[in-house]
Amino acid sequence: MMKSILTKEAPCDEEVMRRLRNRIGKKIIVNHIRFSEPKVTEGILKEVHNFCHIRVGVYDLYFIIGKAAIRKISNKKGGVLYYNPLITKDFPQKTEKEREKIRRETFGIERYVRMLAEGKVSWAKEDFKDAKLDAESIKSTPNFIREGIEVVKPKLKGKWEKFVVKEMLEEPDCDSPEYSGHIIKSALQIMKALSKGKSFRKALSAGYNPELSAGQGGRIISIVGYFHSRGRKFFEWDKNEHN
């Protein structure tokens, strides 16, 4: 069984931050990528900015920013304090989309969306940071995944997770996570109603949102039609209702 992205262990977690804070004032060795090339920086760890960067001597080294990233941090005896197997030598050559996926997996999706939405770190996307509605929608991503897993076909749970990530974080509807959030929320409300045995008409009413366009409404029907066990019949019913 595929492990959910909600429970998948992230290389950069609270334990790593605690471990690094305990090393402040001591010498460390950092293997990282900077200016698109592998580098090794040795020096005294002066600062730890949680899930953002560390200061070694006069250098600020980021866990991940642009094409730069930390692969490993060790103490002077070689003991590993932090290791991220996702950071490979070809990291700078990867596409922006691939690097963003690595960033999500490095921090874990729960922390990633929280940091991105709150704009608390330097890599948070500017177009999301200043948009309150988009920020609130982004933070809903883990809950959308969690709620969907409970109602979609068991064999489609993995696809549901990927679908939500794509819609909310990679390619949001109309370039707005807010719009995508409305679509997913309505689809979930309909699927929950269908799972409770509600009639197609009542299920459709459960997901009604006057702010959505006819085109977006059609997307919702298609989403339900694909992911839910009663979806195909619901899709056909809706098609007949509107012909």
User: How far apart (Å, rounded) are the C-alpha atoms in residues 23 and 86?
Assistant: 24
Identity (one letter) of the amino acid at 26?
K
* 186 neighbors 206 (Cβ within 8 angstroms): no
SS3 state at 225: helix
Pick from 13, 6, 19: nearest CA to 107: 13
- State the pLDDT at residue 47: 97
- State the pLDDT at residue 120: 57
Helix spans in the chain (H): 14-21, 96-107, 109-118, 126-129, 132-139, 141-151, 157-165, 177-195, 200-206, 214-227, 231-241
Domains for the chain: give ranges and CATH numbers.
Answer: 14-92 (2.30.30), 108-241 (no CATH)
Match 């997307």 to its residue by tokens.
219
Pairing status of strand 64-65 against strand 68-75:
antiparallel
- Other Cβ atoms within 10 Å of 195 Cβ, number: 15
What does each of the 243 residues of the chain score in pLDDT, given as a tens digit?
456 777 788 999 999 999 999 999 999 999 999 988 999 999 999 999 999 999 999 999 999 998 999 999 999 999 999 999 999 999 999 998 899 889 999 999 999 888 877 765 544 444 444 455 567 788 899 999 999 999 999 999 999 999 999 999 888 777 778 889 999 999 999 999 999 999 999 999 999 888 888 888 999 999 999 999 999 999 999 999 876
